[in-house]
Structures are given as structure tokens and as C-alpha cells.
Amino acid sequence: MSSKAIREYDAKLLLAYWLQRAPSPNPNFDICTSSTLKFPAPRVAQILWDPESGAITPDSLLPSWVSTIKLVAKPDQLIKRRGKAGLLALNKEWEDAKKWIVERAGKPQRVESVTGTLSSFIVEPFLPHPSDSEYYICITSARHADTLLFTTSGGVDVGDVDAKALKLDIPVLGPFPTRAELQNTLLRDVPAHKKEVLTDFLVRLYAVYVDLHFAYLEINPLVVLDDGSIHYLDMAAKLDQTAESICGPKWAVARDLTVYETGPAATTTSSKINADRGPPMAWPAPFGRDLTKEEAYIQKLDASTGASLKLTVLNPTGRIWTMVAGGGASVVYSDAIAAAGFAHELANYGEYSGAPTEGQTFEYAKTILDLLTRPPPRADGKILIIGGGIANFTNVAATFKGIIRALAMFKAQLIAHQAKIYVRRGGPNWQEGLKAMRLLGESLGVPIRVFGPDTHITEVVPLALGLKSTTSSTAPLSVPTTAPGSPKISPATPDAEPGAGDVGAIHASGERTQAEDVVVRFDAVNGSAKGARPAYRPFDEDTRSFVYGLQPRAIQGMLDFDYSCKRARPSVAAMIYPFGGHHIQKFYWGTRETLLPVYTSLEEAVKKHPDVDVVVNFASSRSVYSSTMECLSYESIRAVALIAEGVPERQAREILWKAQAKGVLIIGPATVGGIKPGCFRIGNSGGMMDNIIASKLYRPGSVGYVSKSGGMSNELNNILSLVTNGTYEGIAIGGDRYPGSTFIDHLLRYEADPACKMLVLLGEVGGVEEYRVIDAVKSGQIKKPIVAWAIGTCASMFTTEVQFGHAGSMANSDSETAAAKNRAMREAGFIVPNTFEELPTVLKETYERLVLAGTIVPTREVEPPVIPMDYKWAQELGLIRKPAAFISTISDERGQELLYAGMRISDVFKEDIGLGGVVSLLWFKRRLPSWATKFIEMVLMLTADHGPAVSGAMNTIVATRAGKDLISSLASGLLTIGSRFGGALDEAAAMFSGARDTGLTPREFVDNSRKANKLISGIGHKIKSVNNPDLRVELVKEYVRKNFPSHSLLDYALAVEKVTTSKKDTLILNVDGCIAVCFVDLLRDSGAFTPEEADEYIKIGTLNGLFVLGRSIGFIGHHLDQKRLRAPLYRHPADDIFINIADLSQPRVLGKMQ
């Protein structure tokens, strides 16, 4: 997500609609009430080529003016200098223009060094005009301001705009220029009669630029005629895609053609309903980079998740494919492959990050493996590098599950392509992830080699390519993680009570320690007695923070870090969560617990915790602006970390300049944060505790670094722990174009801090912030040794434009390339390795020189306290086990798809098993034959209702009329079901099957029941008789006789009916009895159950379940009927109740107490 180019067609529609409507960004830029500005007419039409039909947009869908005037036709695919490339058709009738388009549509076109297919065109009115009426206007955004560039010599030969254009800066949150200043600065060479109207146009243009979150807007030429009319002929524009949540409806309404013209041209044949009025903004690929089907699929997948999924196919027949986790890491791997001389064999660039689900990584991996195995096999085989940095919070084993599933699916294809797979990863649960990969390799038949964080991040690249390693021949090993155990707990306060191990102990005072006494309380601990921290040290061992957002996992990580650093009290004072009430949350402090308050407002939190000066803001991209601006309104807040990705660039700039004016340090947005070893950790920085310990982040080192990438920060922590005495402080400023603080801000802090002895800068392609550091080194502001490298050196080797994982990693000029930056840094005196792979070696050599010079004095290693592993995480790692509290064997929703007794929900519908089939899966855990499932559905229909007078329906009606909701009314009716109402099915099944199984004849069964004074369940009806049969029973008997393979118990029950009806004609087999005996026949004779299983299902209430399920349909119907009728509260008539109250003289107590 970043600033994205849009088509000229869309840019002109945005201006056409919003030029008159956009609110003014400042009163200084209000349009004059006497303005003579004539807003340009929205006359632009789009013609698209359909690759399936090979046809262009039909005339019937074009506006009517197209066929009545002379036209200009041109491609609309982000192509620069179309006139010089011969891609303009001028002064054409529509038929000629259409012919010109048809001749080029769908054809490859070479423009300079890029070849692409022409598929999108625009036509607009041809405007004859004198050359001296052509002007040039461009609005662009930078960190400090929006800049308007203007020159009176516009057109095809505009030349070097930067050199000749007049410029006016509009500072972010700075003083706003007046109309007079705009005229005097930009329009001084414009004829007087055009000056006012052009001023009005420019202020409106800037209003649209601001309101619609443009990032770039160029009009060349802008034609201003003597009559005061304005026409924009050619236009190029970029929008800030991250502002879609704000501007999406505004962009969409401008693309709704019905606001401009009625008739066929305004209609659409699509029946798709959009979220807003008008279609959403389209984001075309660069010319020559038409999205493949696979790229479009991953782009769609990326848009539907909070995680990041990117894919660019560079060479479909290439030998080397990558599947890399992390925006920074993905660039580093591409750099390593290109540096080894294999850029021409690199098949793709891509990355996945932000904790994607197993299903998302499966789809991502499946797409890449499909591309890898699609071309014919090569004699030299294929290479797949599954790489990544040390993750901060992504569960490596969980994401690997999706990749493993995809690899198993493509087993045969991978073998056929002689694929070799190299895996390198670190982070939470990396051991289990790599173990699973290694085991897969043993069964897959494809070589898989796995490496952990003890191997340099790109060390697998030369190994995969069969090259000699450029780093050490033996991979360095990380410090092993400390085994979980019970640490010795230091009292939080001098008079702290005994710990958990002493619960129940009796003290000298006679008091007994209670369980709640193990909750550690820090209220008595005062703030730092050392006074205010120096400006260059925003974090120390006494730093206290608020966490904005409900982030228990991140907070627990911060507290575990605090405990490992032996801090006196937690670094988190409270949480801010506006969407919940005030409450308290428990967190671990070592083996004990502590309580943290949750406030609904920052105002209340600041009042109650005046010592807090840092906010870690986890608010979403939609609310991070307002919450951060609120933070900046409190003088006590001195640093804010913005974790959210996708913050609109205009909002990010306003935040950074407001913070700069207030003297507040901003880290982010789009950052994992930073870490001050031994002191303070921002959110998830540093990863899990095993990585914190392995990278020695529990105590300070001597090296301060700054990076854009959060994942690469973890790599730096790891590298520095191996080749130096570790990290002093590390900050990930974030990958967006406008981070709140930049490289120079933090490096100047490190320079001023006497405890920091050595600096590291990890830059990247795009932006110019590295040059500010170069200037500081040249001017002597930075004197400490600085090791630096800019990643993204591979960008210049790609034949097409590639947007890397970070929003800001795109070079807009030669000076912004990684190679140019590395060269400039080396020339300025930085210590710059030849490749990223040599970075550990250079760091080690620089550190050892400082040790020899006495600048750094290594200290004795300290043993950190052991942090007990959380129960849930230990269980996930397979380190512990516990018996499950519940067992379920019928359904499972944990995977990608819901399962009913092992059957995928998609297959349930694909095979059309119906409601009866679902009941058979969930009740009996097996598929029953279709005649059986149809019978189940028949029973549900037959038992759905039996009128409003039966007890269950009556209870439902009475409850509904008492104002109860559906659930309460339904439950009221269901509670009446039992042996007297509805519950006869189970009993009838038991009686009839028991009689037959014991060998009783029908007459003996009837006689024995009569002798026992026991009614036969399922026999008898109040209304129906032999001569007036129950049609429900007849339907059941007919279906069973026709479809069941056997119906012996039904035959037995009908024989019993002959005996009973000979005594009285209403003693027929009723519907309950008929259903019961037929269901027993189903269980016993379907072949799906053993005799024991059939008897068990009868005993555990299956038949009553059918009645409950079916009758619920009727009860719900009665509830809805009464609600629909608005029936009042029911009161039973008193004359229908016989009331017999005993006389007062009658003794109430029949016995005496002894």
C-alpha cells in the first residue's frame, strides 16, 4: 500500500467532479466570489480492449458527443511521452479515431526500453490553440511540504522542469500562502488578463489535491485561452492508496458516469453492486507489467487480509523461485541472488508477512508452486528458497503448515522438475517449523535443507546456487536459549510478602499467606530518582508507557522483557481501550502476577499516571491519526510509537510535523517499534523471549542501529550478538514514505550518547534520508564509526518496475537507488561492505578495532532471570500435555474448511446430501443411504406441527404473548416434551422392539401389557380410527414399504394394531408409534449399524431428538405468528379454573417435631 498511479481517464474524472465541490484547505485559498473561472467540461471517454472477444468498447456505451466533434485519441496506460512515441491521433472524426485504436488495441507496443500490450485508450475533444497558451503545472508531495511547480512554457517540449519551473512550497501545518503570494511566486510571467482566472483554477486544483489525497498531479499542457476557459490536455496522477478508507466514496462517485450524462453511455451491463455510488478506483499495473492471473489473485488475497501478500513474476521460465517472509528480508534475498550473477534466473519477487493464516500461506505457496512447475522441466532443475528473517510475532510453524500442505500437493511435479528446496527461518516456534520441513523432505522425495537463525539470513543463497560462501565457512551459532525453569524471585518492594511457594504458610504474626498475596503490586514504587532523561536517551530502565489498544500478547512480551532485564517495575503502566469499560487485566511478572488498569480515555490515564511519557499506539490505520493527535496534546508524552500499517501519507506528515513542533519523538508508522536492551521494549520488538535471550537483549551492548524493516531489525540483533557485544539501542523507523523520525534523528542521538560506541545504518532503495546522514558525516556531526548498507541493489537489474514490500522502497531517481546510496556512503567515509552477505564480517572487524583501541571495554556476561514459558505457548510447542476437558467427534472448524464427521462443508453441498444427510453425519457420524436420509426429512416434516392446542404449542404461544423473545418462547414449548407429550417415540420403540426380540406374539404382547396395567406407547388416538385413518401414518407406511429393504418391526406393530383395534377401533398405530418402529427398522436393517449400535441409539434418545427437531419448526412458527398478530398478554379465564381452598380451621401441620 502506497502512492499508486491511476489512469489519465480517472484523474480527469476526479477533477471534473470535485473541482467545483472540494472544500478549500485554507481560507487563503478560497475562490473569489467574482471569479470568471469556467470549470472544464467532463468530456473524456474510455475505450477498453477485451482480450477474450478481441473487441473494443462498443459505440453504444460511449457518450453521444464522441460522434459529433473532432477528437484526440491516445493510449491510457501510464505511458510517458506518448507524443514522441507516435501514440497520439489528433483532429480525428470518431470513425478514424476508432480505426486508429483498433489497429493498435491488443498489439505489443515498444516505448523506449519497455514493451507492453495496448488495451486502454481515451478519446476527448480536439482543441485547436496557440502554442503560447500552453502552461505546465505540477503538484507533488514531500516530507516537509506540498510543492506547486509552474512554467509558462508547457507542452511536448517542456524540457527540464526542475530547472525552469517556478516553485511554491505549502508547508505541512506551516503558514499558508495567500493568493497574492501564489500569483507573485508562480504567475509573474502570466499575462495580466489570464492571471486571476488561472489563480482561481490553481487554488481549486490544490483543494482537490488535498481533499482526495493525491500524491502527485501533473498537467501538461494546461491550456488557458483568451476567453478565460481552461483545458487540461494531458494529465498524470498518483493517489495515496492507503487513504481509500477516507476517500473511497469520493473516488467512486467521480467514476459514476451517470453524474455526467444520461442515456446508454451512462448505463452498465454489469449487475455488480458496489459499496459506494460508482465503481471503486482501479489501480493499473505499470506499462509492460500487465498483471498475470496469478499476480491478480495474490493481489486480491492481499486486499482481503490484514497480512501482507505480494507477488511479481519476473521470469516465468526462471530457475530460481523465492517464497520469503518479510518486506525487508524479501529484498535482501533478491539482492543476494542478483549479486551472485543470477538476476536473469530470478523468476519472482514476493513476500508474505503480518502473520498470515495457514489457509492464506497455503494459497500463496500453491500459486508459486504452480508457476514453478508450469514450464517444461529443465536439465539443471529448479531451486526454491523459502527464506525469511527472525519473526517478531508470526508463528513460524503455523505459517509453515500452509506451505507444507502446498508442497505435498505438488510432490509429483516437484520431483519431475528436479526441484531443490532451501529453508532458512527464525522467530516464534521456528524449531517446530523447521522440524516439520525436515520431516517433509524425508517423505516428499525432494531434497529439503533447513537452517535456523544461527545461519546468516542469506547464507542459503550461495549454497543453493552451488557457489562458495562469501562469509565464514562455518556458520556462527546463536547463544542457546535458556531452558524454562523457576527463577528466583526478587521482592518487588522492600516489604513484599512471600511468594507463591509460601501460600498457606503461618507467619510469626499468626497470619497465613493467602493465594491472592502472590499478585505483585507496584503502587509503592516511586518514579525514577535520577531526574529527567537527556534528550538523546528517550528510553531507560525507568521508562513507563501506555499501550493504546487491547494487546495482551504484546504487553506480556514487554513485561517478560522487563523481568529479564531486572527492572524494578513494569514498563507498562496501563492500557487505553476506548471501546470497553474500565477494568483490570492480569499479567505475569515472572512466576507471579500483576494487575494493569484499562482506561477508556487517555485523559484519565494521564491524570492517574503522571510518570508515563511513552505511548505504544496499536490503533488501526483508520483511528491512529486521531489517537496520536490526542497523545500530542499532553505535555507529559514525549515519545509515541505507531505500529499501524496503511496510515494515509497526508495524515502521517501532519503527525510528524505536529510532533516535531512539540518536541515529541515519533517512531513509525508501519513499524514493529524498537528496543533498548536492558531497559525498554516497544511492543513485539525483538520477537519471543527465546530470541531476546539468544540475542542478549536483556542487557545493553555498545552498538546502536537504525533500520526501516522490523524483521531485519531482529536479524541485526542476532548478528550483533554474534560478532559484537550486542545492541545498545535499535529502532525500526518503518517502511512508509514518511516515517515520523528518520535515520538521522536516531543516529544523532546515538552520536550524542556516550554509552553508544558504534553505529549501524540499514537503509534501502527509495527516498533520500540516507543522504542526510551522509551530510552529517561529512560535516562532522557524526564522528563515531558507522557501518552502513542500503538493501535493494537488485532493483536496477530488473527489466520492469517492481514495488518491494515497503511502501517507500521505490526509487524515483538515480540517486534513490540502493547502489547510488552505497556508493555515496562509501565515498563519505562510511564502512560499507561489498554485499549484504559481508555485513557480519565488516561489523566484527569494526568492533574488534574499537576493542583494541579501548573504546569498547567488554564486560562479563550476566545470567538473565529465567522467564517461565506461558502454558498455551508451551502446549503449542509440544513441551507439555494435559487431558482435554471435552471430547468432540462430530465436527471440526479448526482447519481451512468446516468438517461434519470428516466431510467437508463444500462437499455437503456439492453432493447435495440434504438436511437428512447432515443429520446422519452429526447424529450418527456416517453417511446413510439416500432412502434413509429422505425418511429422516420426512419425519421432520410430519412432526413439524400438530396445531396450536397441544401443550408445547400452547406454552410457546403463552410465552410469546407475555413478550418473551423467540429463544425463551421456544424453550417454553420444548420443556413440555416428555413421556406425556411427544416423548412417546423412544418408549414405543423400546416396547415394540423389546416384545419382538423376546419372542412374544402380537397377542401375547397385548395381553402381557394389559395384565401389567401398562398402556402400549404408540397405540391409540383420540380422533383417528380404523375407518378414519391418520393420513400421516399412511404416508409413512407407504414410503417404508416402497423404499426400506426390510420393515419387520413395522409389520409386527401392524399385527399388534389388528389385536388392539379388535377391542376398540381407535386403538390404532399412531404416528408416534409408526415413526418409532420404522426408525428402528432403519437402524437395524440399513446395514450402517451393528445391532449393538442400533440399540444404543434407541436408548440415548435419538427418536425423541427427531421429534424435538421437527416440532421446533412449528413452535417457531407459532411464535412468529403471534408476534405478527401482535397478540396481547394472555390471561386464562377464571371460570375455566376450579379453585378449592382449604378452610383456615383445617390443620396445616400433620406431624409434630420430636
pLDDT of residue 1148: 57
Instruction: Indicate whether 523 pLDDT > 80.
Output: no
How buried is 487 (Cβ within 10 angstroms: 0-12 exposed, 13-18 middle, 19+ buried)?
middle
Give me Rg for the CA atoms of the chain: 38
Before 221, cis peptide (omega within 30)?
yes
Phi, psi of 8 (to 5 degrees): -60, -35
Cβ proximity of 682 and 547 under 8 Å: no
Q: What is the pLDDT of residue 526?
A: 47
Q: How many CB atoms lie within 10 A of CB 428?
A: 26
Which of 32 and 856 is assigned the larger pLDDT?
A: 856
Enter the DSSP assignment of 514.
Answer: -
Q: Compute the half-sphere exposure of residue 317: CA atoms within 13 Å on the CB side of its CA.
A: 5
* Range with top average pLDDT, 23-27, 161-165, 392-396: 23-27
CA atoms 1101, 1107, 1110, 1113: torsion sign: negative
Instruction: For residue 909, give the DSSP letter.
Output: H
User: How many angstroms separate the CA atoms of 167 and 179, rounded?
Assistant: 14
Please, which pLDDT band fits residue 83 given cuts at 50, 70 and 90? confident
For residue 28, name the pLDDT band (cuts at 50, 70, 90).
confident
Percent of the chain with pLDDT over 90: 65
Confidence band of 275 (pLDDT split at 50, 70, 90):
low
Q: Which helix (H) or strand (E) holds 106?
A: none
Mean pLDDT on 912-937? 95
* Beta strand pairing call for 519-520 and 592-599: parallel
How far apart are the C-alpha atoms of 1001 and 800, rounded to whole Å?
89
Give per-residue pLDDT as tens, 791-813: 988 877 655 555 564 444 444 57
Nearest to 349 by CA among 394, 395, 393, 318: 318
659: left (phi over 0), alpha (psi -120 to 50) or beta: alpha
Predicted local confidence at residue 274, as pLDDT: 61
Largest pairwise CA distance in the chain: 123
Element (H, E) at 98: helix 94-104
Catalytic residues: 806
Helix (H, G, I), strand (E, B) or coil at 620: coil
DSSP secondary structure letter of residue 346: B
> How far is it, in rounded angstroms, from Cα 937 to Cα 913?
11
For residue 528, the model assigns a pLDDT of: 44
CB under 8 A, 24+ apart: contacts of 959-964: 960/1118, 960/1119, 960/1122, 960/1123, 960/1127, 961/1122, 961/1127, 961/1128, 961/1129, 961/1130, 962/1129, 962/1130, 963/1129
Q: What is the pLDDT of residues 449-471, one digit of tens each?
A: 999 998 999 999 999 999 876 55
From residue 798, how far is each of 119, 330, 331, 334, 1132 by CA, in Å?
Answer: 24, 15, 12, 10, 85
Q: Which segments of 660-708 are extended strands (E)?
A: 665-667, 673-676, 680-681, 703-707
| Structure confidence at residue 984 as a pLDDT band (50, 70, 90) | confident
1003, three cell numbers: 397377542
CA distance 722 to 696: 9
Confidence at 477, pLDDT banded by 50, 70, 90? very low
User: Locate cell 532443475: which residue?
Assistant: 381
C-alpha distance across the termini of the chain, in Å: 86
Burial of 934: CB neighbours in 10 Å, binned 0-12, 13-18, 19+: middle
Mean pLDDT, rounded, for 16-33: 88
Sign for the CA dihedral angle at 869, 875, 879, 882 comes to positive
Band (pLDDT 50/70/90 cuts) for residue 481 is very low
- CA distances in angstroms from 730 to 697, 706, 749, listed in the order given: 10, 6, 12
Q: What is the pLDDT of residue 493?
A: 39
pLDDT at 609: 96
Q: If DSSP codes are grouped into helix, strand and coil, which group holds residue 230? A: strand
Calculate the average pLDDT of the chain: 88
Strand pairing category for 145-151 and 680-681: unpaired
Q: Once rounded to an integer, what is the mean pLDDT over residues 648-669?
A: 95
Give ∠ CA 22-28-30 in degrees, rounded to 5. Answer: 40
Closest CA to 575 of 588, 564, 592, 587: 587
Round to whole Å and give the CA distance between 2 and 801: 15
Cα(293)–Cα(158) distance, rounded to whole angstroms? 39
How far, in Å, CA of 909 to CA of 911, rounded?
Answer: 5
The Cα angle at residue 318 between residues 314 and 320, in degrees rounded to 5? 100
Distance CA 665, CA 759 (A): 19
3-class secondary-structure state, position 110: strand
CA neighbor of 554 nearest in space, from 618, 615, 598, 601:
618
Question: CA 1088, CA 1094: separation in Å to the nearest integer?
Answer: 9
The amino acid occupying position 192 is: A
Q: Are 1069 and 1053 in contact (CB under 8 A)?
A: yes
In this structure, what C-alpha cell is assigned to residue 62?
460511449
- Of 442, 414, 433, the C-alpha closest to 321 is 414
Question: Does residue 669 have a cis peptide bond before it, meaning omega lies within 30 degrees of 0?
Answer: yes
Average pLDDT of the segment spanning 386-390: 91
| 646 neighbors 1 (Cβ within 8 angstroms) | yes
Q: Which of 483-492, 675-684, 913-922, 1044-1053 has the lowest mean pLDDT?
A: 483-492
Whether 504 has a pLDDT exceeding 70, the answer reads no
Work out the pLDDT band at 131, boundaries 50, 70, 90.
confident
Cell numbers at 392, concatenated: 517478531
Determine the pLDDT at residue 164.
Answer: 87
Burial of 872 (0-12, 13-18, 19+ CB in 10 A): exposed
**Burial tier of 228 (Cβ tally within 10 Å: 0-12, 13-18, 19+):** middle
Q: How large is the average pLDDT for residues 552-578?
A: 95
Decide: 168 and 182 in contact? Cβ < 8 Å: yes
Spatial CA neighbour of 981 closest among 888, 1104, 1079? 1104
The pLDDT assigned to 799 comes to: 57
Q: Give the whole-angstrom CA distance, residue 124 versus residue 235.
A: 13
Q: What is the DSSP string of 442-499?
A: HHHSS-EEEE-TTS-TTTHHHHHHT---SS-SS---PPPPPPP--PPPPPSSTTPPP-
The three cell numbers of residue 303 are: 486486499
- What integer is the mean pLDDT of 391-410? 89
Q: What's the one-letter identity of residue 802?
A: V
Query: Measured between alpha carbons, how far is residue 1094 from residues 488, 984, 1089 in Å?
Result: 60, 18, 6
734 contacts 301 by C-beta, under 8 angstroms: no
Phi (first) and psi of residue 692, to 5 degrees: -60, -45
pLDDT of res. 802: 59
Task: Quote the CA–CA distance of 502 and 1005 in Å, as a whole number.
Answer: 70
Tell me: the pLDDT tens digits for 175-198? 899 999 999 999 999 998 889 999
536, pLDDT greater than 60 = yes
